[in-house]
Amino acid sequence: MSTVSDAPDAVLDRPAKSRAWAKFRAHRIGMFGAGLVGFFVILAILAPILPIQDPIATDWGAVRQPPSSTYWLGADEIGRDLLSRMIWGAQASLLAGVVSVGIALGLGVPLGIIAGYFGGWTDAVISRCTEALLAMPFLILAIALAAFLGPSLTNAMLAIGIAATPVFIRITRGQVLSVAAEDYVESARAIGLPTHLILRRYILPNVLPPILVQATLTIATAIIAEASLSFLGLGQQPPAPSWGSMLNTAKNFLAQAPLMALWPGIAIFVVVLGFNLLGDGLRDALDPRSD
């Protein structure tokens, strides 16, 4: 017995986690995305200790200055260092992306699991509400919510998070429908596991991979949404730096100081690209069919 069944097992002897990781590492574009994201994350985390200038300190002698040895990316309309504002702005953008997606996950995944697992009336109510929210364009919904909650970065994150929730309810519900039909869920019921444990230990971990991919892609959308809200004055409030509000002021000086608009534009573009590529890589790595 042991000799017969040990042989094929030895071949299969590879931990599950490292398989997805190996696939991801071999995914060049995904790794590139991860690199871009990592770069901005490190910048954002290190913002307080980097030898950069105070992002809100003004220098009236440097108003709208082009890049120089003092102001590497130039200075804005009241002489604040653009490099410093970009790095601190990265913090606001990434925070907004991660926190709002966190909110969307925290609301959407439990609701989706409940809808998918229990079905019936619960599902009908949750699904109809989801569809009603999905009928509204994401950004319009976020703007309406942010305007309703009042302008601040926290409220903007909350608004974006709520606006992004229906997508997660949908995806989670769909995944739960397929996972709940798996034999191992029935065998969990057969060993007498209470429902909350089945949901937590059998349903949740098995529905996570596609949700993780969607979360990564949604961070990119959320960053754009945060920039849009800040651009409209509903997000980060001056003088605190944010890429969106930087773009807003820069649009007034496009002829005199185009670089003021260029930097935040490039930064938003690159970060969003990074998250999208990362999401693609994760999708390929976590998809069991792409072996």
Partner 1 sequence: MAGSGSALLSVSGLGLSLGEKGPPFLRDVAFDLQGGETLCIVGESGCGKSMTAVALMGLLPPALSRNLKGRMVFEGEDLSLRDNDRLRALRGRRIAMIFQEPMSSLNPVFRIGDQIGEAWECHNGSGGRAKALEMLERVGIPDPEGRLNDYPHQLSGGMRQRVMIAMALVNDPALVIADEPTTALDVTVQSQILDLMRDMQRRRGMGMVLITHDLGVVAQIATRVAVMYAGEIVEHGTVEAIFSDPQHPYTIGLMASVPPISGPRQRLTVIPGRVPLPSALRPGCRFSDRCPFATPVCATPPPARIFDNGHVALCHHTPVESLAEAAAWA
Which residues are at the interface with partner 1 (CB under 8 A)? 1-2, 5-6, 8-9, 12-16, 120, 182-184, 186-194, 197, 201-202, 205-206
Q: DSSP letter for 81, please.
A: B
* 9 versus 255: smaller Cβ distance to partner 1: 9
* 110 versus 209: smaller Cβ distance to partner 1: 209
CB 168 to partner 1: min, Å: 20
CB 240 to partner 1: min, Å: 42
Q: Determine whether 77 is exposed, middle or buried from the number of CB atoms within 10 Å of its CB (0-12, 13-18, 19+).
A: middle
Q: Determine whether 64 is exposed, middle or buried from the number of CB atoms within 10 Å of its CB (0-12, 13-18, 19+).
A: middle
Q: Measured between alpha carbons, how far is 279 from 235 in angstroms, rounded to an integer?
A: 25
* 131 versus 182: smaller Cβ distance to partner 1: 182
CB 5 to partner 1: min, Å: 5
Task: Please report which helix (H) or strand (E) contains residue 177, including its range.
Answer: helix 153-180
List of residues 6+ apart from 139 with CB closer than 8 A? 163, 225, 228
* 168 versus 202: smaller Cβ distance to partner 1: 202
Q: Measured between alpha carbons, how far is 2 from 207 in angstroms, rounded to an integer?
A: 35
* 3 versus 69: smaller Cβ distance to partner 1: 3
* 20 versus 31: smaller Cβ distance to partner 1: 20
Integer distance in angstroms from the first to the last C-alpha of the chain?
31
In residues, how long is the chain?
A: 291
With CA atoms as reference, report the closest residue to 159 among 178, 140, 136, 175. 140
CB 237 to partner 1: min, Å: 43
* 128 versus 189: smaller Cβ distance to partner 1: 189
| Encoded tokens for 67 | 């890049």
| Encoded tokens for 114 | 């409940």
CB 186 to partner 1: min, Å: 6
CB 173 to partner 1: min, Å: 18
CB 15 to partner 1: min, Å: 7
Q: Measured between alpha carbons, how far is 141 from 127 in angstroms, rounded to an integer?
A: 18
